[in-house]
Chains A and B, each alone.
Chain A
Amino acid sequence: MSKEIKYTEAFDELQQIVVDIEDGEITVDELSVKVKRASELIKICKEKLSATEEDVNLILKELEE
């Protein structure tokens, strides 16, 4: 499932978690769970960014050839 989430969605969820935590709307009890989720999301985003970068570089390289 995590593979199908979009970067944008992942990013938005991640940002929401950060905001929620900062606003103290998350109890200590939930916090661990949320942090875990956030970690996952960060990973996903980074992976997507890397993939995209590779992709783009490939395309642009072709153009220059």
Chain B
Amino acid sequence: MFLELFSSLESILITALIITPIISGVLVTFLKKKKIIELVTVFSSFLILIEGLILVNSILKYKTIYVFNGIFYVDSLSGIIIITISLVGFLSSIYSVSYMGKQYEKLIIDEKKLVRYYQGFNMFLFTMLLVPISNNMGIMWIAIEATTLVSVLLIMLYVKQSSIEASWKYLLIATVGLSLALFGTIFFYYVNTVDVPLEEDVLGMNWTNLVENASGFDPNLVKLAFIFIIVGFGTKAGLAPMHTWLPDAHSEAPSPISALLSGVLLNCAFYGILRFHIITSNSIGSHFSNTLLIILGVVSIGIAAASIYFQKDLKRMLAFSSVEHMGIISVAIGFGSVIGIFGALLHIINHAVVKSLLFFTSGSISQKYETKLISDTSGIIRIMPITGFAFLIGVLAIIGLPPFNIFMSEFLVLSSGFESENFLPSMLVILFLVIIFAGFGKHLLKMVFGNPKQTIKKGDLGILSIIPMLILISIIFVMGIYVPEPLQTLIGDASQILLVGDLHN
């Protein structure tokens, strides 16, 4: 169980997981040719996917893994995040080959920008992978800060007014938010090492150490610290009042990157909140943090509902729906019963899958129609049958219609809401979900059906953009009714950790 000596396989896996993106980033900078850097990136993200899966397999066996005397710590909760990063990372690397290739043909971006794109892509994967692996809260914070900086580089790839504006806002708000989070982390560090002699407090920042002696913390300080943490990491996770950067950043970034941003980066930030949620619920009981999570969750679903209904830009609508779904996840964790947390973690995976599908399809649509406005795109099913169908499935899934996977996790969330007696938030969530359903339905109808306006050439955008969509559609259909066994055990262990917080079982 508690791996004293770091067994060779795990340490190799984790180091490999971190090294591969760095190596491919370095390779990309040197080999300037388009064909080769695409191949290198796809191969490296494929490698990451394999390593991630093997790592998760060993997590299922050993429950918790220590490497390099506690610097890197992986358990089933971080396993879930690793899966989402590697899966969406691999699919968006394939999609970015077709997307950036098309942009390159249309001379929107030149060779230099393409190299910078793939550099950023690999660095982005590296920083995101660092988050779930690190045991030390300081390193985790640095990793999240690094993701912000790298993604700002990616957003400001195009030299357009709107992308400069989006990246400036994103940089500023995210850094302010993360400094708040650092405040909270330092508080936790202080509370953990207040009466420990100076030389041992180096371990104070480790999550495992924090959880162990969480019960001894001073409750008042822990509450204050958790408020800083939830507002800080909430900004990065896109929770309500701090979500304002999200629609601008995600709609200006290139589609594969906004798929990564929306589907995965928000989860990494939320992973930070989860880590500290476990610590607080161990020290002062989970009621305080649950109430905070529910309040912020419900507010974010509400604001998202209002903005989706009137949205004119397709990608901004998808960004607001990410705010909504992060709200649902935080409400689910807030409800707190076994089913609720299981539903929340399942929702993290479902949301990552469906949101990336939607960003891929909307990327192809905006490339084909050369506009991001909803009013100009209509009759997609006629023009691009496969992408249109994929877009239709994505939208129907994201609004929570049953045969698809989001409905299952939303159903679990709502049943835990009723089970844990907070009826008002659950009713509010149901009401907001219906408003979002109406908003999406209104836009969906206009875009997919109806007859296309101008004479647009029929046909989909190349096979490379179709493959990731088909893979994602199959996952959505399968996960709708049947959650595969290994995934179920992984999520079960993760919810155990969240519920009890004790890392031993």
Same complex: no
Taking Cβ atoms with an 8 Å cutoff, the residues of A that contact B are none
Taking Cβ atoms with an 8 Å cutoff, the residues of B that contact A are none
